[in-house]
A and B are shown apart, each in its own frame.
Chain A
Amino acid sequence: MRVMVLVKASKDSEAGVMPDPDVFAKMGVYNEELIKAGILLAAEGLHPTSKGLRMRFSGSERTITDGPFAETKELLAGFWLWQVKSFDEAVEWLKRAPFDGNTEIELRPVFEMEEFGEMVSPERRERKEHLRAEFEKRTG
Protein backbone atom coordinates (compact mmCIF):
# COMPACT_ATOMS: atom_id res chain seq x y z
CA MET A 1 0.00 0.00 0.00
CA ARG A 2 1.07 3.60 -0.42
CA VAL A 3 0.99 6.19 2.34
CA MET A 4 1.40 9.92 2.08
CA VAL A 5 3.42 11.47 4.93
CA LEU A 6 2.53 15.15 5.39
CA VAL A 7 4.95 17.40 7.30
CA LYS A 8 3.04 20.25 8.93
CA ALA A 9 4.36 23.80 8.91
CA SER A 10 5.79 25.78 11.79
CA LYS A 11 6.42 29.48 12.44
CA ASP A 12 10.00 28.90 11.25
CA SER A 13 9.09 27.13 8.02
CA GLU A 14 6.50 29.80 7.25
CA ALA A 15 9.10 32.51 7.93
CA GLY A 16 11.45 30.88 5.41
CA VAL A 17 13.97 29.97 8.12
CA MET A 18 16.36 27.37 6.69
CA PRO A 19 16.56 24.02 8.47
CA ASP A 20 19.43 23.49 10.90
CA PRO A 21 22.36 22.19 8.76
CA ASP A 22 22.76 19.23 11.14
CA VAL A 23 19.09 18.27 10.79
CA PHE A 24 19.29 18.75 7.00
CA ALA A 25 22.22 16.32 6.87
CA LYS A 26 20.44 13.81 9.15
CA MET A 27 17.37 14.05 6.89
CA GLY A 28 19.60 13.22 3.91
CA VAL A 29 20.78 10.07 5.70
CA TYR A 30 17.18 9.16 6.65
CA ASN A 31 16.06 9.53 3.03
CA GLU A 32 18.88 7.19 1.97
CA GLU A 33 17.63 4.61 4.48
CA LEU A 34 14.12 4.95 3.06
CA ILE A 35 15.50 4.44 -0.44
CA LYS A 36 17.51 1.36 0.63
CA ALA A 37 14.41 -0.10 2.26
CA GLY A 38 12.52 0.34 -1.04
CA ILE A 39 10.02 2.62 0.67
CA LEU A 40 10.66 6.09 -0.75
CA LEU A 41 8.57 7.01 -3.79
CA ALA A 42 8.66 10.81 -3.51
CA ALA A 43 9.96 13.56 -1.19
CA GLU A 44 9.43 17.31 -1.55
CA GLY A 45 9.69 20.54 0.44
CA LEU A 46 7.15 23.30 -0.08
CA HIS A 47 8.01 27.01 -0.09
CA PRO A 48 6.16 29.04 2.59
CA THR A 49 2.52 29.88 1.87
CA SER A 50 3.58 33.49 1.22
CA LYS A 51 4.72 32.12 -2.17
CA GLY A 52 1.47 30.22 -2.74
CA LEU A 53 -2.23 30.83 -3.23
CA ARG A 54 -5.65 29.21 -2.97
CA MET A 55 -8.39 29.05 -5.58
CA ARG A 56 -11.98 28.64 -4.46
CA PHE A 57 -14.42 26.75 -6.74
CA SER A 58 -18.09 27.63 -6.31
CA GLY A 59 -20.40 26.76 -9.20
CA SER A 60 -18.67 28.41 -12.15
CA GLU A 61 -16.93 31.01 -9.96
CA ARG A 62 -13.17 30.90 -9.36
CA THR A 63 -11.74 33.16 -6.64
CA ILE A 64 -8.03 33.50 -5.87
CA THR A 65 -6.62 34.34 -2.43
CA ASP A 66 -2.85 34.89 -2.17
CA GLY A 67 -0.86 33.48 0.75
CA PRO A 68 0.33 33.66 3.42
CA PHE A 69 -2.31 31.72 5.33
CA ALA A 70 -2.93 31.87 9.05
CA GLU A 71 -3.50 28.37 10.37
CA THR A 72 0.20 27.55 10.61
CA LYS A 73 0.00 24.12 12.20
CA GLU A 74 -2.55 22.96 9.62
CA LEU A 75 -0.43 24.09 6.67
CA LEU A 76 1.82 21.76 4.74
CA ALA A 77 5.61 22.28 4.65
CA GLY A 78 6.66 19.06 2.94
CA PHE A 79 5.70 15.49 2.19
CA TRP A 80 6.88 11.99 1.39
CA LEU A 81 5.09 9.25 -0.54
CA TRP A 82 5.99 5.77 0.78
CA GLN A 83 5.40 2.21 -0.40
CA VAL A 84 4.87 0.06 2.71
CA LYS A 85 3.50 -3.37 3.69
CA SER A 86 1.10 -1.85 6.22
CA PHE A 87 0.08 1.42 7.81
CA ASP A 88 1.87 0.32 11.00
CA GLU A 89 5.13 -0.04 9.07
CA ALA A 90 4.77 3.59 7.93
CA VAL A 91 4.15 4.72 11.54
CA GLU A 92 7.26 2.85 12.77
CA TRP A 93 9.45 4.36 10.04
CA LEU A 94 8.11 7.83 10.74
CA LYS A 95 8.99 7.59 14.44
CA ARG A 96 12.64 7.27 13.33
CA ALA A 97 12.62 10.53 11.35
CA PRO A 98 15.18 13.14 12.57
CA PHE A 99 12.81 16.01 13.30
CA ASP A 100 13.81 18.33 16.10
CA GLY A 101 11.60 20.56 18.21
CA ASN A 102 7.83 20.38 18.12
CA THR A 103 6.69 18.85 14.84
CA GLU A 104 3.52 17.10 13.74
CA ILE A 105 3.37 14.71 10.80
CA GLU A 106 0.18 13.30 9.31
CA LEU A 107 -0.03 9.88 7.61
CA ARG A 108 -2.78 9.15 5.07
CA PRO A 109 -3.25 6.03 2.96
CA VAL A 110 -3.73 6.90 -0.74
CA PHE A 111 -6.46 5.53 -2.96
CA GLU A 112 -5.50 2.77 -5.36
CA MET A 113 -7.70 2.13 -8.39
CA GLU A 114 -9.07 -1.04 -6.75
CA GLU A 115 -10.65 1.06 -3.98
CA PHE A 116 -13.03 2.67 -6.46
CA GLY A 117 -14.34 -0.83 -7.10
CA GLU A 118 -17.44 -1.08 -9.20
CA MET A 119 -17.42 2.61 -10.06
CA VAL A 120 -14.58 1.93 -12.45
CA SER A 121 -15.87 0.30 -15.63
CA PRO A 122 -13.54 -1.95 -17.65
CA GLU A 123 -13.34 0.80 -20.30
CA ARG A 124 -12.33 3.42 -17.75
CA ARG A 125 -9.81 1.05 -16.18
CA GLU A 126 -8.24 0.45 -19.58
CA ARG A 127 -8.14 4.17 -20.29
CA LYS A 128 -6.48 4.78 -16.93
CA GLU A 129 -3.85 2.13 -17.68
CA HIS A 130 -3.24 3.72 -21.08
CA LEU A 131 -2.87 7.08 -19.38
CA ARG A 132 -0.45 5.64 -16.81
CA ALA A 133 1.66 4.10 -19.61
CA GLU A 134 1.70 7.42 -21.44
CA PHE A 135 2.71 9.21 -18.22
CA GLU A 136 5.49 6.73 -17.52
CA LYS A 137 6.79 6.99 -21.06
CA ARG A 138 7.01 10.75 -20.72
CA THR A 139 8.56 10.85 -17.26
CA GLY A 140 11.01 8.03 -18.00
Chain B
Amino acid sequence: MRFMVMVKATQDSEAGAPPTQELLDAMMAYNEELVKAGIMKGGDGLQPSSKGARVQFDGTKRSVVDGPFAETKELVAGYWLWECASLDEAIAWVKRCPNPMPGPSEIEIRPLFELADFGEIVTPETAAQWDRLKAEAGGQG
Protein backbone atom coordinates (compact mmCIF):
# COMPACT_ATOMS: atom_id res chain seq x y z
CA MET B 1 0.00 0.00 0.00
CA ARG B 2 1.26 3.48 -0.74
CA PHE B 3 1.02 6.47 1.56
CA MET B 4 1.73 10.16 1.60
CA VAL B 5 3.25 11.14 4.95
CA MET B 6 3.03 14.90 5.47
CA VAL B 7 4.91 17.05 7.94
CA LYS B 8 2.60 19.95 8.86
CA ALA B 9 4.00 23.46 9.06
CA THR B 10 4.76 25.39 12.23
CA GLN B 11 5.63 29.02 12.90
CA ASP B 12 9.30 27.93 12.77
CA SER B 13 9.08 26.32 9.33
CA GLU B 14 6.99 29.21 8.00
CA ALA B 15 9.63 31.65 9.28
CA GLY B 16 12.24 29.73 7.29
CA ALA B 17 14.15 28.79 10.44
CA PRO B 18 16.86 26.35 9.33
CA PRO B 19 17.00 22.90 10.97
CA THR B 20 19.70 22.28 13.59
CA GLN B 21 22.73 20.16 12.69
CA GLU B 22 21.35 17.60 15.15
CA LEU B 23 18.01 17.35 13.35
CA LEU B 24 19.65 17.19 9.91
CA ASP B 25 21.79 14.26 11.13
CA ALA B 26 18.86 12.48 12.79
CA MET B 27 16.66 12.92 9.69
CA MET B 28 19.40 11.68 7.38
CA ALA B 29 19.84 8.57 9.53
CA TYR B 30 16.06 8.03 9.53
CA ASN B 31 15.85 8.47 5.75
CA GLU B 32 18.65 5.91 5.37
CA GLU B 33 16.62 3.41 7.39
CA LEU B 34 13.56 4.09 5.20
CA VAL B 35 15.61 3.50 2.03
CA LYS B 36 17.20 0.31 3.42
CA ALA B 37 13.75 -1.00 4.41
CA GLY B 38 12.56 -0.47 0.82
CA ILE B 39 9.84 1.88 2.05
CA MET B 40 11.06 5.24 0.75
CA LYS B 41 9.61 6.19 -2.63
CA GLY B 42 10.21 9.93 -2.45
CA GLY B 43 10.22 13.00 -0.26
CA ASP B 44 10.90 16.74 -0.23
CA GLY B 45 10.88 19.79 2.00
CA LEU B 46 8.61 22.61 0.86
CA GLN B 47 9.75 26.20 1.08
CA PRO B 48 7.65 28.48 3.34
CA SER B 49 4.28 29.58 1.94
CA SER B 50 5.68 33.12 1.55
CA LYS B 51 7.44 31.68 -1.52
CA GLY B 52 4.24 30.05 -2.80
CA ALA B 53 0.90 30.97 -4.34
CA ARG B 54 -2.63 29.65 -4.76
CA VAL B 55 -4.65 29.50 -7.96
CA GLN B 56 -8.43 29.57 -7.57
CA PHE B 57 -10.55 27.95 -10.29
CA ASP B 58 -14.12 29.14 -10.78
CA GLY B 59 -15.63 28.10 -14.12
CA THR B 60 -13.19 29.61 -16.62
CA LYS B 61 -11.91 32.19 -14.13
CA ARG B 62 -8.39 31.85 -12.67
CA SER B 63 -7.27 34.01 -9.74
CA VAL B 64 -3.75 33.93 -8.28
CA VAL B 65 -3.18 34.75 -4.60
CA ASP B 66 0.41 35.05 -3.33
CA GLY B 67 1.53 33.50 -0.03
CA PRO B 68 2.09 33.59 2.85
CA PHE B 69 -1.05 31.83 4.05
CA ALA B 70 -2.50 32.10 7.52
CA GLU B 71 -3.57 28.60 8.57
CA THR B 72 -0.08 27.51 9.62
CA LYS B 73 -0.92 24.15 11.13
CA GLU B 74 -2.88 23.12 8.03
CA LEU B 75 -0.02 23.92 5.66
CA VAL B 76 2.37 21.24 4.42
CA ALA B 77 6.07 21.76 5.24
CA GLY B 78 7.38 18.46 3.88
CA TYR B 79 6.33 15.03 2.75
CA TRP B 80 7.40 11.49 2.03
CA LEU B 81 5.92 8.84 -0.27
CA TRP B 82 6.11 5.38 1.29
CA GLU B 83 5.28 1.84 0.29
CA CYS B 84 4.28 -0.24 3.33
CA ALA B 85 2.54 -3.56 3.93
CA SER B 86 -0.25 -1.83 5.89
CA LEU B 87 -1.36 1.41 7.53
CA ASP B 88 -0.13 -0.05 10.84
CA GLU B 89 3.37 -0.42 9.42
CA ALA B 90 3.30 3.20 8.21
CA ILE B 91 2.17 4.32 11.68
CA ALA B 92 5.00 2.35 13.33
CA TRP B 93 7.54 4.04 11.06
CA VAL B 94 6.11 7.51 11.73
CA LYS B 95 6.43 6.86 15.48
CA ARG B 96 10.18 6.32 14.93
CA CYS B 97 10.58 9.62 13.09
CA PRO B 98 12.68 12.22 14.89
CA ASN B 99 10.51 15.23 15.77
CA PRO B 100 10.80 17.20 12.52
CA MET B 101 10.33 20.57 14.26
CA PRO B 102 11.97 22.34 17.24
CA GLY B 103 8.68 22.32 19.19
CA PRO B 104 5.47 20.25 19.02
CA SER B 105 4.59 19.11 15.51
CA GLU B 106 2.18 16.96 13.54
CA ILE B 107 2.51 14.36 10.80
CA GLU B 108 -0.46 13.28 8.68
CA ILE B 109 -0.67 9.85 6.99
CA ARG B 110 -2.92 9.40 3.92
CA PRO B 111 -3.36 6.31 1.70
CA LEU B 112 -2.96 6.96 -2.03
CA PHE B 113 -5.44 6.09 -4.79
CA GLU B 114 -4.67 3.13 -7.03
CA LEU B 115 -6.40 2.70 -10.39
CA ALA B 116 -8.76 0.02 -9.04
CA ASP B 117 -10.10 2.54 -6.48
CA PHE B 118 -11.67 4.60 -9.30
CA GLY B 119 -13.93 1.70 -10.24
CA GLU B 120 -16.47 2.29 -12.97
CA ILE B 121 -15.21 5.65 -14.22
CA VAL B 122 -12.07 3.99 -15.62
CA THR B 123 -12.12 3.32 -19.37
CA PRO B 124 -9.52 1.33 -21.35
CA GLU B 125 -8.14 4.68 -22.53
CA THR B 126 -7.81 6.24 -19.06
CA ALA B 127 -6.33 2.95 -17.75
CA ALA B 128 -3.64 3.13 -20.46
CA GLN B 129 -2.99 6.81 -19.58
CA TRP B 130 -2.67 5.81 -15.91
CA ASP B 131 -0.12 3.08 -16.76
CA ARG B 132 1.94 5.50 -18.85
CA LEU B 133 1.74 8.09 -16.06
CA LYS B 134 3.01 5.62 -13.46
CA ALA B 135 5.78 4.42 -15.78
CA GLU B 136 6.87 8.02 -16.27
CA ALA B 137 6.26 9.36 -12.77
CA GLY B 138 7.35 6.37 -10.68
CA GLY B 139 10.48 8.08 -9.43
CA GLN B 140 11.21 11.56 -8.17
CA GLY B 141 13.17 12.83 -11.18
Main DSSP-derived SS at the B contact region: mixed
- The size of the chain A interface, using a CB distance under 8 A, is 73
CB-based nearest B residue for A128: B28
Asked if B57 and A103 sit within 8 Å, CB to CB, the answer is: yes
Asked if B76 and A6 sit within 8 Å, CB to CB, the answer is: yes
CB-CB under 8 A for A104 and B118, given A4-B44, A43-B133, A83-B141: no
Asked if A71 and B99 sit within 8 Å, CB to CB, the answer is: no
CB-based nearest B residue for A29: B129
Kindly provide the distance from the CB of A26 to the nearest chain B CB, expressed in whole angstroms. Answer: 10
For B104, what are the chain A residues with a Cβ–Cβ distance below 8 Å? 56-59
Enumerate B56-102 residues with CB–CB distance to A below 8 Å: 56-58, 62, 64, 67, 69, 71, 74-76, 79, 81, 87, 91, 94-95, 97, 99-101
CB-based nearest B residue for A18: B121
In the complex, per-residue mask of A73-97: 1 if CB is within 8 Å of any chain B CB, else 0: 0111001010100010001001101
